[in-house]
Chain A
């Protein structure tokens, strides 16, 4: 579940640039709460971006990726109207997929 991502994909000169903002705590597991108890790690571990059915990026995150992760990358191909999707899953087993139309 989690909250929706913001995905922007823009095609220019045969290259599509994708920018993604993800809503996630990315808790490191190294912080303590007010009572001194360790706040358990809670972070995205894997992410896959697809252009249609084709995987264009596969990533693995550690706890050092910032809260509300940001990601930008480019792939060859892609045209206005194509679909780009991004899926993530976290260490608690939660997952989410969102998609955007290339413009």
Chain B
């Protein structure tokens, strides 16, 4: 119509594009699109299911998750996600939200983590974990990202996460840093946050988990990270495994001081 949209022309191979071409009017239009979507994030529907699940007596032990300790004491959800991942004394390890929810489901409800770890995204018990995630992260919306890095295990995980972030591998010799280790990179119209910086990490970490309009699915952080590995043509990591938690520690620690805008809504 009035604008020229060289950047929009179809036919780009999947890949990286350095962000120079888009005129500001186009970026303004995209910004308007995102703004229109923000009001009425379908994550709310998933969060409502999660809230119901949190309160429902389920599993072999017929218990709810209302005594689940996400780090701020049994049953405290408000602001809990903004302080995760964290070191948990009772399990003796660093856990992200999803691995922690599995602990609660096992201890309180008697639901075997194996069925979740070996399961598939958006299926069975793992889908239920995702609904719980939607509920919990909604209760940290607007909170300050504030991971506690004092425990030596957190420091260890941070170092492991950083290593994983820069680790190049796979048929394309990619690492997370290939896409997210430079300012101003994009894939087509998607700005890629520079996750090495506080600002970039806050933008990335602070807006996931999120509802993805492209497929109408709610994606947890485990799902997000899993797909990053897939896109790098690397083997998918085990659900809730240390490397995934370590990457989350690295991102959350780098993002510290930023604001949680969860759940997000993504293209």
Contacts and interface: CB of A to CB of B under 8 A. Distances in A.
Q: In the complex, A touching B, CB below 8 Å? A: yes
Give the interface residue-count category, chain B. under 10
B45 A3 contact: yes
B42 A4 contact: no
Given A67-B216, A68-B216, A23 B40 contact: no
A19 B45 contact: no
A38 interface: no
Contact of A21 (B44, B49, B213, B216): B44
B72 interface: no
Interface residues of A, number: 14
Given A3-B49, A68-B216, A19 B42 contact: no
Contact of B45 (A23, A25, A66, A72): A23
A68 B42 contact: yes
Interface string A37-59: 00000000000000000000000
A22 B45 CA distance: 8
Contacts of A3: 45, 48-49
B45 A70 contact: no
B39 interface: yes
A6 interface: yes
B40 A4 contact: no
A50 B213 CA distance: 29
Interface string B11-53: 0000000000000000000000000000110101100110000
Contact of A19 (B40, B48, B213, B216): B40
A6 B42 CA distance: 9
B160 to A, nearest CB: 36
Contacts of B45: 3-6, 21-23, 68
Contacts of A23: 42, 45
Contacts of A21: 40, 42, 44-45
Residues of A contacting B: mostly: loop
Contacts of B42: 21, 23, 67-68, 70
Interface in B173-221: 213, 216
Given A3-B49, A68-B216, A19 B39 contact: yes
Nearest to B49: A3
Nearest to A69: B42
Interface string B47-65: 0110000000000000000
Interface of B: 39-40, 42, 44-45, 48-49, 213, 216
Interface of A: 3-6, 19, 21-23, 25, 66-68, 70, 72
**6 closest A-B pairs by CB:** A67-B216, A68-B42, A70-B40, A23-B45, A6-B44, A21-B40
Given A6-B45, A21-B44, 17 more contacts: A3-B45, A3-B49, A4-B45, A4-B48, A5-B45, A6-B44, A19-B39, A19-B40, A22-B45, A23-B42, A23-B45, A25-B216, A66-B213, A67-B42, A68-B42, A68-B45, A68-B216
24 contacts: A3-B45, A3-B48, A3-B49, A4-B45, A4-B48, A5-B45, A6-B44, A6-B45, A19-B39, A19-B40, A21-B42, A21-B44, A21-B45, A22-B45, A23-B42, A23-B45, A66-B213, A66-B216, A67-B216, A68-B42, A68-B45, A68-B216, A70-B40, A72-B40
